[in-house]
Amino acid sequence: MDVDQKYWYMACDNCLKGTTGEYGWEITCNFCRAETIAKPRTKFAITLSDDTTQLDVVIFGDLAENLLGITAHELMKDEEKNKKLDCDAINKRLNGRRFIVQIKKKTVDTHYGVGYHYNVASLIEEDVIQPPKVDVKECSSSQSHVVDLSTIGVDPNVATASMNTHILQSTKDSQDAASSSASLPKDK
């Protein structure tokens, strides 16, 4: 997870698409055309992994707030104060927890052809297990782990997998790394 990413965006309260409006402004959404209020919405990118693969995904809204343990409004206020997200506290809260993750695949056109974005559609926590030892692996922001789920026998439109989550905070030795991910060992 890129610890320097922005964890929220300003959104239309109706369709949840991004807007340039300021918090609380009455806006006419450019996407849904609704007259509504601009509100902050939580969003963050993370790498999920299980015994077979890892996948870069984006988590939005209530799902993201529940994992981070902080609301979009609080994230917005913290950013105004230049306060960083406490990733150590999030690690402690999430370490050892396992989730069934439902992922939605979205096809997007890029300069290089067709690509994919993966968004978390739902999270269901499995029974709490003992925290595993974590093998931390660094990756640069240019690395991407996009997986064509159809090649591993999974419905590419909606995939469900049991995935471990772990959020990392940059250390002084790795401040040059733009993002980090964790690979948790297999259950024994």
Q: Is 12 helix (H, G, I), strand (E, B) or coil?
A: strand
Instruction: List, for residues 111-136, the tens digit of each pLDDT value.
Output: 999 999 999 999 888 875 445 444 44
Question: What pLDDT, in 10s, does the model give residues 54-67?
Answer: 999 999 999 999 99
Q: Report whether pLDDT(45) > 50.
A: yes
Between 48 and 149, the more confident residue is 48
Q: List C-alpha distances in Å: 160 to 61, 103, 154, 175.
A: 19, 6, 8, 33
Check whether 161 has a pLDDT greater than 80: no
CA 12, distance to chain mean position in Å, is: 20
Per-residue pLDDT reduced to its tens digit, 86-98: 888 888 888 888 8
Please, which pLDDT band fits residue 1 given cuts at 50, 70 and 90? low
Average pLDDT value for residue range 37-62: 93
Question: Are the C-beta atoms of residues 106 and 117 closer than 8 Å to each other?
Answer: yes
φ/ψ of residue 175, rounded to 5: -65, -25
Q: Which domains does the chain have, with CATH numbers?
A: 8-183 (2.40.50)
Q: 82 — alpha (psi -120 to 50), left (phi > 0) or beta?
A: left
Confidence of residue 49 (pLDDT cuts 50, 70, 90): confident
Check residue 26 and give its pLDDT.
95
